[in-house]
Amino acid sequence: MSEKRRLGRGLGALIPDALAGSADTSEIALNRIQPNPYQPRRLFNEEKLNELAASIKEHGVLQAVVVSPSGEEDNYILVAGERRCRAARIAGLKTVPAVVKSFDKSSLLEIALIENLQREDLNPVEEAQAYKRLMHDYNYTQEELAQRLGRSRPSIANSIRLLSLSDGILEALAEGKITPGQARPLLGINNPKQQQLAAKQIIEGSLSSREAEKMASKINKQNSKNKGREEAIVQDPVHTELQLQIQRVLGTKVRLKQGKSGGTIEIYYYGEEDLERLIAKLLPEGI
């Protein structure tokens, strides 16, 4: 059973009367229902909406939507049932059956998030953004959020971490071109261009999550080697100045190589005469 299906705190825990069918319903005009401003979902499948609209034309809206008073006279904020409202409009309905209950801002986002999670309607980016917004706007810790949503804290953390990927990869995630499991190894690649190229390889090569991990690990190892070479070339400024002074005194190329606990000095000469000149400088009293 998927984790999304194991939510411990579902809609029934938050709005039990509405889901149990025991609450009073009213026919409310669709033009009086405002979209939930905290709705985490941004993409709606047009084909599925049209299928739902066809069903509504045939059977009507079988489950009431849930709305909350907006503060404006006779207007409401949609709490749960966005797909039903959209499909009802497509079907040409003017009203929908609705349960009216008052909710605070925190609950509006929480309920919209849970509804979509239970229906597996959110793409990975929308899901991560919703978690982040709950934590930012309502000061939930990852642990508190996990408890309220019936999820594990690592799953919340892993979801939010995806948002640090580059925009192009997030777009691919939202469109389903790459899965969270395939994308997560890319978080370890710090170079944005390398990250994008790796994502392209994963998508075009249909790599598994394990293959994506191996590829990311290989890239990171190569980067570490390259960094090590670069660091070996970069010298301490004091040593660099000392190297220049020795070169001026000796009149030839000199290289100071640094090690962990010492180093070497390389003195270059060009031909026998140049070597004799250097010996005379270094050993003025002779050999």
Q: Which of 46, 82, 110, 285 is catalytic?
A: 82
Cβ 86 vs Cβ 12: under 8 Å:
no
Which secondary-structure segment (H or E) carries 41? Answer: none
Cβ 100 vs Cβ 26: under 8 Å:
yes
171 is catalytic: no
**From the DSSP assignment, how many helices (H) and strands (E) are in the chain?**
14, 7
Question: What is 214-253 written as a DSSP string?
Answer: HHHHHHHHHHHHHHHHHHHHS--HHHHHHHHHHHHHHTS-
Q: What is the rounded distance in angstroms from the CA atom of residue 49 to the CA atom of residue 56?
A: 10
Cβ 38 vs Cβ 134: under 8 Å:
no
Q: Could you give the residue numbers annotated as active site?
A: 82
